[in-house]
Amino acid sequence: MTSDPSNSSLYLHPYPSPELAAAHPFVELDFDRLDVVEQRRRGVAFLELMQRRRSVRMFSDEPVAVELIDLAIEAASTAPSGAHKQPWRFVAVRSAELKARIREAAEAEERVNYLDNRMNDEWQEALAPLGTDWHKEFLEVAPWVVVLFEQRYELRPYGEKRKNYYVKESCGIAAGIFITALHTMGLATLTHTPSPMAFLSNVLERPENERPFVLFPVGYPLPGARVPDLQRKPLDAVRVFAD
């Protein structure tokens, strides 16, 4: 027996309640119900697209239209967030002078990480197959550097502060959608988290309620760019059924 998808009697406490709907605006969900064949076709096509996604460390200096950056940021901003606070700010940088300052500061931190043992042996061993080091030339070569800042709290008029909720979780989801949007548009990126990242707040003159979350160089791969020959975990290694 097939269940009726419109059967609202499944819920003793429907959402929104009449009281909630009277107090706050609600609209009917805009949702396309697909047949099973189309669902699978789209799922397979999306998986095949994302299987080709790789982190890139050799970028071309070919320009990228600002419209594409804006589209990726708008897509990222569709992410769910705690209490719908949308606690993120994407700072897009194309200024050669600012990118040079970011690279200089990032390399200063990474030099300590790699050469002065701020990263322990186990960490460096894990990174060894990637061949990364403290040199971050891509921060100047890529046409864009986009820094995602997490907003720990809102700054209201007259200095009032309002807490944001599930900030890291919300920004993590937004970052994933940003990466996906770039890849879908035929652009490449890299998640770069030089540690510590406080220098980004200073270089980009961000307010006190914002903290750097992740940095993305964005552009086209340098022709012939190479990436590590890595394999992703198979489905059975990342999915468990709890029946």
The predicted-structure confidence for 222-239, as pLDDT tens digits, reads as follows 999 999 999 999 999 999
pLDDT, tens only, 136-180: 999 999 999 999 999 999 988 887 999 999 999 999 999 999 999
Q: What sign does the CA torsion over 155, 200, 147, 125 have?
A: negative
d(CA 164, CA 80): 13
Q: Which residue has the higher pLDDT, 201 or 120?
A: 201
Reply yes or no on whether the pLDDT at 7 is more than 80. no
User: What's the pLDDT score for residue 159?
Assistant: 79
Query: Is position 26 within any domain?
Result: no
How sure is the predictor about 1, in pLDDT bands with cuts at 50, 70 and 90? Answer: very low
Query: Is position 126 within any domain?
Result: yes
Name every residue whose Cβ is closer than 8 Å to that of residue 181 and which is 6 or more positions away in sequence: 71, 72, 75, 76
Find the DSSP H helices in 34-137. 36-51, 66-76, 96-115, 121-127
How sure is the predictor about 104, in pLDDT bands with cuts at 50, 70 and 90? Answer: very high
Cβ atoms < 10 Å from Cβ of 41: 12
Query: Is position 120 within any domain?
Result: yes
Cβ atoms < 10 Å from Cβ of 242: 3
Query: Is position 115 within any domain?
Result: yes
Closest residue by Cα to residue 16 from 81, 24, 84: 24
Q: Please give the share of the chain, as a percent, with pLDDT higher than 90.
A: 84
| 66-83 burial: b if 16+ Cβ within 10 Å, else e | eebbeebbebbeebebee
Amino acid at 15: Y
Give the mean model confidence (pLDDT) for residues 203-230.
96
Reply yes or no on whether the pLDDT at 89 is more than 60. yes
**Domain range for 72:** 58-224
CATH of the domain at 107: 3.40.109.10
Query: Is position 11 within any domain?
Result: no
Phi, psi of 226 (to 5 degrees): -115, 150
How sure is the predictor about 9, in pLDDT bands with cuts at 50, 70 and 90? Answer: confident
How sure is the predictor about 243, in pLDDT bands with cuts at 50, 70 and 90? Answer: confident
User: What's the pLDDT score for residue 5?
Assistant: 65
User: What's the pLDDT score for residue 4?
Assistant: 67
Domain count of the fold of the chain: 1
3-state secondary structure of 59: strand
Helix (H) / strand (E) containing 199: helix 198-203
Query: Is position 34 within any domain?
Result: no
Reply yes or no on whether the pLDDT at 192 is more than 70. yes
Q: What is the mean pLDDT of the chain?
A: 94
User: What's the pLDDT score for residue 3?
Assistant: 62
Query: Is position 233 within any domain?
Result: no
Residue 113 DSSP label: H
User: What's the pLDDT score for residue 8?
Assistant: 73
Closest residue by Cα to residue 88 from 228, 216, 196: 216
Q: Which residue has the higher pLDDT, 69 or 113?
A: 69
Q: What sign does the CA torsion over 59, 65, 66, 68 have?
A: negative
Q: Which residue has the tokens 């961000």?
A: 206
Query: Is position 25 within any domain?
Result: no
Reply yes or no on whether the pLDDT at 77 is more than 90. yes
Reply yes or no on whether the pLDDT at 2 is more than 60. no
